[in-house]
Amino acid sequence: MLIDTLINRPATPESKPQADRAALREAVSGLVFDELLAAGAAPRAGTRASLAAAAELMRLDMMRSAFSLGDAEGGESPPVMGRAVELMLKSFAENGREPAAAPTPPDASETPAPAPAGAAAVSHPIEEKKSGNWLDDVVSRASRRYGVEVGLIKAVIKAESNFNPNAVSRVGAQGLMQLMPATARGLGVTDSFDPEQNVMAGTKFLKDLLARYNGNVDKALAAYNWGPGNVDRKPHLLPRETREYLVKVKEFYNQFA
């Protein structure tokens, strides 16, 4: 190639100044390339400034060389090597520019999550509380109004629904004291899942049963579970479920009394 030819051309005595200038250019080029290698693949701003300055010096030197060669050799065209080196340095400077930073994607954690499809509002948000303490005020009012012991009311609620105001049995009984829809309507209940309405109506129903059986708690509880008509017609045929219900309510009554 022309560059190799110019570099490797032996210096004659009358062209020694040209050889000195070629050696100078080679030394400067070596320094610039050393700087590039030390800076790595992505030179910083200071390195780019150094490259630009070196390129300018090389360009001026090439211009001086061109004039000198023209004077010494009778109008010889400017050497190609200076232009080639200048283009090479410019290429290094352009490739060393730092890439623009990519835009930061929005943080997914800041984006509100969409509501689940088909999610419906809960009609009765009162959560189950198995201790029954949250019902103390309602039970106390029902006890004072209808004259039924607090412990007995809470024992029936525990056995019927385990203090879950949203409980529904397999036969359709609803709420804390498991009122059948027909019974609830007869007692003036508009919402069986409302704790206040349910406990008041259930306590009234229990009071009526105690009065019906002359204060006999076993018969009143059996009628509450099995139905007063069944107890009236066949009290000697209590089903196993009703007998177990009586035992369970009495155990809870001893706890709450």
What is the 3 state secondary structure string of 32-56? HHHHHHHHCCCCCHHHHHHHHHHHH
Q: Are 55 and 93 in contact (CB under 8 A)?
A: yes
Least reliable range by pLDDT among 71-80, 85-94, 168-177, 204-213? 71-80
Q: What is the pLDDT of residue 129?
A: 57
Q: Is the pTM of this model over 0.75?
A: no
Least reliable range by pLDDT among 22-26, 34-38, 50-54, 190-194? 34-38
In DSSP terms, which residues pair with 179 in a beta bridge?
174
Rounded to 10 deg, the angle between the 80-95 and 16-39 helix axes is 10
CATH number of this structure's domain 133-256: 1.10.530.10
- Most confidently predicted of 20-29, 131-140, 223-232: 223-232
Q: What is the pLDDT of residue 14?
A: 45
Write down how long the chain is. 257
In the chain, what percentage of residues exceed pLDDT 90? 48
pLDDT tens readout for residues 59-81: 655 555 554 544 444 444 444 44
Higher pLDDT, 28 or 176: 176
Out of 73, 160, 241, 251, which one is annotated catalytic? Answer: 160
C-alpha dihedral, 191 to 196 to 202 to 206, nearest 10°? -160
State the average pLDDT for the chain: 72
208 pLDDT higher than 70: yes
Q: What is the pLDDT of residue 167?
A: 98
Q: What is the pLDDT of residue 48?
A: 52
pLDDT tens readout for residues 117-140: 333 333 444 444 555 689 999 999
181 pLDDT higher than 70: yes
237 pLDDT higher than 70: yes
Least reliable range by pLDDT among 14-28, 132-146, 166-180, 235-249? 14-28
How far is the CA of 149 from the CAs of 8, 90, 125, 184, 221, in angstroms?
119, 100, 28, 21, 14
Structure tokens at 6: 């110019």
Q: What is the pLDDT of residue 3?
A: 43
Q: Can you spell out the DSSP letters for 137-153?
A: HHHHHHHHHHT--HHHH
Q: What is the pLDDT of residue 257?
A: 85
Domain boundaries, the chain: 2-7+15-95, 133-256
31 pLDDT higher than 90: no
Q: Are 210 and 148 in contact (CB under 8 A)?
A: yes
| 160 in active site | yes
34 pLDDT higher than 60: no
Average pLDDT over residues 1-26: 48
94 pLDDT higher than 90: no
